[in-house]
């Protein structure tokens, strides 16, 4: 285990097994209809790679990099797009992949923006869900695991761009980011 990880929440095996189950749910949901998978950079890349190998419908893959910011008391709901999707998404079934949903602000804004482009449908799949700090009710169609309100790393999730490569999901030691 990495020296900066306090404890492991889900092992590589547990994550792999859950992704397989989620893929089955998603396959049943789409029933062979073509899907454009949009992976939200960078955190959901590991999840996306594992998931799409198990999907059995025609799949195209694209990426978006965005972050939301609110200004303290006023939730302005602004979205900064650092990298937009490149595929034509009008009239397409969109499956949006996120690593983790915390406040829900980012996903809320991305969904709003994509809907404005005339997509046929939008569904969301998130590997981890942290319901404790939710500010915006977001559409969550497929959820890997609910997790407690702790700062987690691994399986694509970073702290200061590190730890994305850990094959498990772990709680980061507080000493790493405090002081
Ligand atoms: P929100 O749902 O608050 O708009 O933001 C979700 C984003 O916050 C995620 O994509 C992720 O980048 C970051 N985030 C939230 N909680 C955690 C966590 O426990 N660990 C890590 N590494 N990132 C987190
Ligand atoms: Mg992130």
**Ligand nearest, relative to CA of residue 42:** 2
Confidence at 72, pLDDT banded by 50, 70, 90: very low
Pocket test for ligand 1, best of 39, 110, 157 (most atoms within 8 A of CB): 157
Give bridge partners of residue 124 from the DSSP assignment. Answer: 96
CA of 63 to the centre of ligand 1 (A): 17
CA of 144 to the centre of ligand 2 (A): 17
Catalytic sites, residue numbers: 102
| Strand order through the sheet with 169-172 | 5-10, 169-172, 152-153
| CA–CA dist 37, 160 (Å, integer) | 26
| CA–CA dist 146, 167 (Å, integer) | 18
SS3 123: strand
User: Residue 73: what pLDDT?
Assistant: 42
Residues contacting 9, CB < 8 A, separation 6+: 145, 147, 152, 168, 169, 170, 171
**Ligand nearest, relative to CA of residue 157:** 1
User: DSSP assignment, residue 133?
Assistant: G
Model pLDDT for residues 20-48, shown as the tens digit of each residue: 999 999 999 999 999 999 999 999 999 99
Tokens of 86: 């490149």
CA of 31 to the centre of ligand 2 (A): 31
Give bridge partners of residue 76 from the DSSP assignment. Answer: none
SS3 19: helix
Q: Taking the C-alpha atoms of 23, 125, 5 and 64 in order, what is their torsion angle to the nearest 10 degrees? A: 120
Tokens of 131: 């319901």
- % of residues, the chain, pLDDT over 90: 84
Model pLDDT for residues 92-149, shown as the tens digit of each residue: 999 999 999 999 988 999 999 999 999 999 999 999 999 998 988 899 999 999 999 9
Measured CA to CA in angstroms, residue 28 lies from 36, 72, 106 at distances of: 16, 41, 27
**pTM over cut 0.85:** yes
Tokens of 98: 């996120």
**Ligand nearest, relative to CA of residue 159:** 1
Q: Please give the CATH number for the structural domain made up of 17-147.
A: 3.40.50.2020
Tokens of 167: 């094959």
For the chain, the domains span 17-147
Q: Is the CB of 158 under 6 A from ligand 1?
A: yes
Residue with CA closest to ligand 1 atom 8: 102
Residue with CA closest to ligand 1 atom 3: 103
CA of 65 to the centre of ligand 2 (A): 9
């Amino acid at each position: 285990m990495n020296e900066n990880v306090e404890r492991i929440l889900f092992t590589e095996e547990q994550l792999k097994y859950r992704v397989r189950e989620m893929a089955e749910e998603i396959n049943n949901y789409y029933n062979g209809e073509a899907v454009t998978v949009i992976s939200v950079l960078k955190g959901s890349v590991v999840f996306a790679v594992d998931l799409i190998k198990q999907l059995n419908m025609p799949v195209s893959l694209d990426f978006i990099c965005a972050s939301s910011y609110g200004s303290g008391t006023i939730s302005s709901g602004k979205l900064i797009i650092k990298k937009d999707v490149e595929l034509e998404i009008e009239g397409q079934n969109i499956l949006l992949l996120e690593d983790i949903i915390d406040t829900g602000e980012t996903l809320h804004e991305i969904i709003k923006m994509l809907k404005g482009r005339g997509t046929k449908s939008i569904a969301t799949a998130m590997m981890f869900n942290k319901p404790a700090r939710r500010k915006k009710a977001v559409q969550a169609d497929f959820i890997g695991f609910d997790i407690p309100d702790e700062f987690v790393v691994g399986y694509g999730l970073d702290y200061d761009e590190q730890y994305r490569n850990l094959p498990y999901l772990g709680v980061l030691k507080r000493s790493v980011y405090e002081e």
